[in-house]
Structures are given as C-alpha cells and as structure tokens.
Amino acid sequence: MSLSINSPSAMPTNIDSGTSLKVAVMAKDQQKVEGQMALQLIEAALPQQSAPQPVGNSGHIISTKA
C-alpha cells in the first residue's frame, strides 16, 4: 500500500502495509480500552442500590396537628 501526500521531501510519503496494519491494531486496542473506561465511568455514576423500601405505611404518615 502506498500513500502519497503533498508534503516536503524530507517527510516520508510511503506507508508499508505492515506498519499500517500495526497502527490499525493499536488503534483498535486503544478504542477497546477507552470503551471499557467509559463503561466504568457510566456505571460509577449510576445511583447505588439503596436498602429495600419499607413495607406498609409505617413511618410514612406524619401527624401535623398540634
């Protein structure tokens, strides 16, 4: 695979397929790591499971008469 870019002559203009394959694999691995980090961040932001809700009306009715 050859890639020509309008660049100064001091810069390489060819990319061999071995290097480009290695870069593609590294980019894919990086995306997987970033995806896992994003999922962990989302899970950490979720509200924690609280204690089970009480059954019945106990504690829910407050008398406001004085």
The more confident residue out of 64 and 6 is: 64
Rounded to whole angstroms, how far apart are CA atoms 3 and 23? 15
pLDDT, one tens digit per residue, over 3-20 is 555 655 555 555 677 888
Residue positions counted in the chain? 66
Provide the residue type at 31 as one letter: Q
In degrees rounded to 5, what are phi and psi of residue 63?
A: -80, 125
pLDDT of 10: 54
Is the pLDDT score of 57 beyond 60? yes
Banded pLDDT at 54 (limits 50, 70, 90): low
Q: Is the pLDDT of residue 56 over 80?
A: no
